[in-house]
Amino acid sequence: MVMLRVAAATVAVAMASASLQAQAREITFGHVGGPDSLFEDSAEHFAELANERLPEPYEVVVFGSSQLGNDQELLQKLRLGTVDFALPSTIMSSVSDEFGLFELPYLVKNREHMKRIEEEVVWPTLAPIAEENGYRILAVWENGFRHITNNVRPINAPEDLQGVKLRTPRGAWRVRMFEEYGAEPSPMALSEVFMALQTGVMDGQENPLAQIAGQRFQEVQDYLSLTGHVYTPAYMTAGSRFNRLPEEIQEILIDAALENQAYVYDRAEQLDHDLLDVIREAGTEINEVDTSTFIEASQPIYRAFAEEVEGAQALIDTVLELGEDF
């Protein structure tokens, strides 16, 4: 009887050990995007690419809709090693001021321009800065071109934002930009925005169409103004656990992350086209915008960024030069 108990206990310990081993090989990917958002599509397609190539028992598992935390919490978990991957965007400017480059309005002209910026600025300059701070960027995906929604009035010029309580992500330069335009910006986690708009705590917000529709903001917003004021990349980012993976597993994940960019860009363009109808059909009024007034009102932000962030003017000049023929 004692022998049977010992044998049973040994089997139980072995099974528990095997379970823990398998669990330890689950590669967790957290992001803040809702169902049907570009973030969800991007992460799931990457997981599909990676899981086709990963040997057992490795598997990428995606947790969207802030299930593993908001952007700030996900960055902390990357460093602590409790999450493997995340998809930060604007929040990277809190890691290093240089990432505030992508807070500057009307800097990135289109996705082809962004590809050049990725090659000439992100990989040689920004990615090493991220790595110094404990984050390894594996690929540059997309959040997208941002537009303004609100419940006060259509936004045709910066003065229309006067007094509008506007949710922004946690990026200091985004807040300063909207203060310059006359709005009352307040940083807030994406998961909290729908309720804030529904209850009137916030009048409006600004996001790419994929996030607007993915978070169902059109259900609680009267106006969408196609300002296209900022293009935000999304950085497919690994934390401290990544380097502990076997080298061949790392290579599979890096290759899948880089390969996924083409899908992300194609999907983003498609969503930019398709989601206008989705938002319009919900009853939200959509207006085009003459961006020249916004560009003129943005010059103080460029000057401040160049003055306050070391090396910023060189980064700005490089990006502008890369976009001269667009």
Separation CA 90–CA 230 (nearest Å):
10
Could you read off the pLDDT tens digit of each residue along the chain, which spans 326 residues?
444 444 444 444 344 344 434 444 899 999 999 998 999 999 999 999 999 999 999 999 999 999 999 999 999 999 999 999 999 999 999 999 999 999 999 999 999 999 999 999 999 999 999 999 999 999 999 999 999 999 999 999 999 999 999 999 988 999 999 999 999 999 999 999 999 999 999 999 999 999 999 999 999 999 999 999 999 999 999 999 999 999 999 999 999 999 999 999 999 999 999 999 999 999 999 999 999 999 999 999 999 999 999 999 999 999 999 999 99
Domain ranges of the chain: 16-322
Q: How far apart are CA 312 and CA 235, in angstroms?
A: 20
CATH 3.40.190.170 given to domain 16-322: yes
CB 187 within 8 A of CB 193: no
3-state secondary structure of 309: coil
Q: What does the pLDDT read at residue 14?
A: 42
Cross-strand partners of 86: 30, 237
Q: Residues near 117 by Cβ (< 8 Å), separated by ≥ 6?
A: 108, 319, 322
